Amino acid sequence: MKGDTHYDTIIIGAGLAGLAIALRLRQRGEKVIVIEKNSMVGGKMDAFEWKGFRFDKGPSLFTQPELIDELFELCGKNPREYINYNKVDESCRYFFKNERLDLHSNKELRKKSLSGKLSASEINALEDYLQDVSASNEFIGDFFLSNPKPRLKDIFKRDLIIRYPEFLKLKFRTTLDKYNKRRFVSEKLVNIFNRFGTYNGSNPFKMSGLYSMISHLEINDGTFFPTEGMRSIPESLYNLAVEQGVEFLFDASVKVNKSVNGFELNTSDKLNSNKLVCAIDHLTFYRDVLRDDSLFQKYIKQERSSSGVVFYWAMNEKFEELGLHNIFFSENYEKEFVEIFGNKKIPNDPTVYVHVSSITNAKDAPVGKSNWFVMVNTPANEHPSKENIDALRHKVISIIETRLKTEVFSKILNEEYWTSKDLEELTGSFGGALYGAASNRLNSALKRHDNYSKKINNLYFVGGSVHPGGGIPLVLRSAKIVEQLIYE
């Protein structure tokens, strides 16, 4: 690639969203190039190994695999020739002070598991809740997550008008916590379903009850796990993209200039295009790539989502009490969010998430051992010091040992960790925020950054920091939305 090279579309960022939109536009016959500042694809979906242990560094929850399959099918390929995954019926194990509750996607297994731990009325309340979030997702959620954000001129469209009555329901007019407290007597169930608010890095005590629909994907639809780990998702899409003729430029630091006919990029070669797609955090893009201070100042005012600290522990033992996904709840869940979003500090008594992929993929750890991905939510823009990390490690180990009633610290063979600072430096996530802006207002969904620029023609946005949000399914939907905006 030498000299002056013209493309139909240039994409900034080779994370999952960048790969998805590249494939979609390539299938439209476009000449596409993806520019990535790192030497590899995947963004947050990185991985590493240590002496027979394999760790996925980023997202660990995989739902709606059909959205991945769709990209292969668009290219006329059999997805199973590129990537395979298994369904995991048990969605999560929840550890409280003196009890553990397991939730399954299979209704009968779920009821059997909870029998004797919750009353019959509480189990019925749970089933009613799951039916309601399923119906809401089908009628409201799927529509809004699969289409561009509604604009003023759209308010009289039939597809919107028929959905207006839903917005009068309680869940849209109150916080997620208040809505859950109206639905459940059990404090444990309230905590479990408040927890889904963290799936977009927000505060369940402030965000809309609309987000109760998040639980639908994990519990009603079920969770999955790739047979080669989460890292295999971007790797398989990259292999497909190369086969389809998508070009990639790695280790590239670029700046964009708006020209008369489109966009020009300053790289080792002069690149230009009719369209530009931002597939990185929009704040980082405005500050470092487009260098538009007015847009940067506009969007930096929005509260950031939470970040996190992740410990990767090679464990010298298998722990039968643990499942693929595990949550160890703090004793005062509301106080935890006050500390994260109000006081901007690492919680004193954090809720701890533990993911053990070797439970599903035995080859991710040597025989008789296990690989732990241990995460705590922390504030964005507040990069922890080594002293903070050391103190947090001590708290996390104490919490896990107390709940499991077994020794943990002495079983750690090796440790790596990832903080908000690492996340920002590797992926460009502004302030280390995992999901861009937080959703800590009742109308946050309508305030999220659009998938297109209102200021600059032919500039589009995909990824977790823009509509419809973060997480693998929504990131993939953002790419589909941009294709729709361009062509439909």
Domains of the chain: 4-45+61-84+229-302+438-487 (3.50.50.60), 126-220 (no CATH)
Q: Calculate the alpha carbon distances from 107 to 121, 236, 410 in Å.
A: 15, 33, 38
Task: Judge whether residue 168 has pLDDT over 80.
Answer: no
Give the residue-averaged pLDDT of 94-118.
96
Write out pLDDT tens, residues 389-416: 999 999 999 999 999 999 999 999 999 9
Of 438 and 153, which is predicted with more confidence? 438
Write out pLDDT tens, residues 343-380: 999 999 999 999 999 999 999 999 999 999 999 999 99
Confidence label for 336 from pLDDT (cuts 50, 70 and 90): very high
Pairwise CA distance, residues 470 & 454, whole Å: 22
- Average of per-residue pLDDT values in the chain: 93
Max Cα-Cα span within the chain: 71
Q: Are strands 459-461 and 270-278 parallel, antiparallel or unpaired?
A: parallel
What tokens does 234 get?
A: 């971007």
Q: What pLDDT, on a 0 to 100 scale, did the predictor assign at position 225?
A: 97
Q: Are strands 53-56 and 47-50 parallel, antiparallel or unpaired?
A: antiparallel
**SS3 of 249, please?**
strand
Q: What is the dihedral of CA 98, 104, 107, 111, to 10 degrees?
A: -20
CB atoms within 10 A of CB 440: 21
Percentage of the chain exceeding pLDDT 90:
85
Q: What pLDDT, on a 0 to 100 scale, did the predictor assign at position 52?
A: 98
Pairwise CA distance, residues 482 & 477, whole Å: 9
Q: What pLDDT, on a 0 to 100 scale, did the predictor assign at position 253?
A: 84
Q: What pLDDT, on a 0 to 100 scale, did the predictor assign at position 2?
A: 47
CB atoms within 10 A of CB 90: 19
Task: Judge whether residue 141 has pLDDT over 80.
Answer: no
Give the residue-averaged pLDDT of 45-68.
97
Task: Judge whether residue 417 has pLDDT over 70.
Answer: yes
Find out whether 10 and 30 touch, Cβ atoms under 8 Å. no
Query: What's the per-residue H, E or C state across 4-34?
Result: EEEEEEEEECCCHHHHHHHHHHHHCCCCEEE
Least confident interval from 16-25, 442-451, 465-474 = 442-451
Q: What is the dihedral of CA 135, 136, 139, 144, to 10 degrees?
A: -150
Residues 6+ apart with CB under 8 A from 46: 40, 56, 57, 58, 231, 426
Give the residue-averaged pLDDT of 86-103.
95
Per DSSP, 164 falls in state: G
Q: What pLDDT, on a 0 to 100 scale, did the predictor assign at position 1?
A: 47
Residues 6+ apart with CB under 8 A from 421: 383, 384, 432
Residues 6+ apart with CB under 8 A from 214: 196, 197, 199, 200
Q: What is the dihedral of CA 475, 436, 323, 414, to 10 degrees?
A: 120
Q: What is the dihedral of CA 124, 129, 131, 134, to 10 degrees?
A: -160
Per DSSP, 385 falls in state: P
Q: What pLDDT, on a 0 to 100 scale, did the predictor assign at position 152?
A: 65
Task: Judge whether residue 164 has pLDDT over 80.
Answer: no
Residues 6+ apart with CB under 8 A from 259: 272
Task: Judge whether residue 118 has pLDDT over 60.
Answer: yes
Pairwise CA distance, residues 24 & 320, whole Å: 43
Q: What pLDDT, on a 0 to 100 scale, did the predictor assign at position 186?
A: 96
Among 179, 181, 176, 195, residue whose Cα is nearest residue 93: 195
Confidence label for 446 from pLDDT (cuts 50, 70 and 90): confident
Give the residue-averaged pLDDT of 151-174.
67
What tokens does 217 get?
A: 């994907």
28-46: buried (b, 16+ CB within 10 Å) or exposed (e) per residue? Answer: eebbbbbbbbbebbbbbbb
Pairwise CA distance, residues 388 & 44, whole Å: 23
Give the residue-averaged pLDDT of 82-99.
95
Write out pLDDT tens, residues 222-276: 999 999 999 999 999 999 999 999 999 999 988 998 876 788 887 667 899 999 9
Task: Judge whether residue 169 has pLDDT over 70.
Answer: no
Percentage of the chain exceeding pLDDT 70:
94
Q: Calculate the alpha carbon distances from 329 to 183, 192, 354 in Å.
A: 20, 9, 11
Give the residue-averaged pLDDT of 27-43.
97
| Burial class of residue 10 (count of CB atoms within 10 Å of its CB; 0-12, 13-18, 19+) | buried
H or E segment to which residue 80 belongs: none
Among 32, 26, 28, residue whose Cα is nearest residue 8: 32
Find out whether 306 and 379 touch, Cβ atoms under 8 Å. yes
What tokens does 108 get?
A: 């009968």
